[in-house]
Copies of this chain bind each other. A is one copy, B any other.
């Protein structure tokens, strides 16, 4: 149902403008919304299969891993990706970390300190629900540190990610975008349903008022940290079914490009068959 590979259609290209993103679009997808649930189910299985292979290989010494970096304004659907996309995998091989307001201890170290501790081990899929990019997003928008501190972070992040890629971690970075109207609807829903109150934070509205500043900060982030080795992908997220399908495909594609196969046995299969038959 994809006319174009999502990783090609969604990859950020220098010159792309955050202000121009069509958040209602479904780039590369020519199926219908009514196909989405079945397709999501099938692709979750494919994702799970590749995830198992990645994990299996780590048992035989393959040290590679994958890291999914989720960024997006409140209500963009990061939580839904964790639940419906990552949740399709096996908890055995998932390392999920949510990065909220840094603790005192975290603030006493450099901004990548807490990030390094959350990196995936060999064979794992790491999931960052927000990430080191908050240090050039909310931190920049709210002047939490002066420009001479956040400004060098773009380059520091690139160097950091270069190192990760060189040591065998494939990085999949996605920035999810919803319209302000859609955000309003989603916040209103959280205020309407007692089972959603916990997802609501009055500060979300303050952030909403700063959208133009966030737009600038997202633009700078994309312009300066979308690299060949760790490109950003722009996910139109007004349609949840689309953003979930698209990110599932990005993960599948990234895993396929790792060119994996089931690891060969580390023992003599025939000898073991004989041993087993005798006990």
> What copy number does this chain have within its complex?
2
Residues of A70-103 contacting chain B, CB below 8 A: 79, 82-83, 86-87, 89-92, 94, 96, 98
Q: Which residue of B lies closest to A84 (CB)?
A: B90
Select A191's contact among B98, B205, B269, beta carbons within 8 Å: B269
How distant is the Cα of A195 from the Cα of B92 in the complex, in angstroms?
A: 17
Of the listed stretches A31-39, A212-220, A222-230, A258-266, chain B binds A258-266
Q: Which residues of B contact A127 (CB under 8 A)?
A: 91
The answer on a CB contact under 8 Å between A269 and B56 is no
Which bracket fits the contact residues of A?
35 or more
**Closest Cβ of chain B: how far from A208's Cβ, in Å?**
6
Select A82's contact among B90, B195, B198, B276, beta carbons within 8 Å: B90
Q: Which residues of B contact A276 (CB under 8 A)?
A: 184, 187-188, 191, 205
The answer on a CB contact under 8 Å between A198 and B59 is yes
The answer on a CB contact under 8 Å between A269 and B197 is yes
**Closest Cβ of chain B: how far from A172's Cβ, in Å?**
16
The answer on a CB contact under 8 Å between B209 and A92 is no
How distant is the Cα of A59 from the Cα of B195 in the complex, in angstroms?
A: 13
**Closest Cβ of chain B: how far from A49's Cβ, in Å?**
9
The answer on a CB contact under 8 Å between A262 and B195 is yes
Select A60's contact among B94, B198, B263, B275, beta carbons within 8 Å: B198
- On whether A191 and B79 interact (CB within 8 A), knowing A94-B91, A127-B91, the answer reads no
- On whether A188 and B264 interact (CB within 8 A), knowing A56-B198, A96-B91, the answer reads no
The answer on a CB contact under 8 Å between A96 and B98 is no
Q: Which residues of B contact A188 (CB under 8 A)?
A: 273, 276
Query: Interface residues, chain A, CB within 8 Å of chain B?
Result: 53, 56-57, 59-60, 79, 82-83, 86-87, 89-92, 94, 96, 98, 127, 129, 184, 187-188, 191, 194-195, 197-200, 202, 205, 208-209, 262-267, 269, 272-273, 275-276, 279
A-B contact pairs, 15 of them (CB 8 A): A60-B198, A82-B90, A82-B91, A87-B89, A87-B91, A91-B94, A92-B98, A94-B94, A194-B265, A197-B265, A200-B267, A202-B272, A202-B275, A205-B276, A205-B279
Closest 5 pairs (CB-CB, A-B): A56-B198, A197-B265, A91-B96, A195-B262, A83-B90
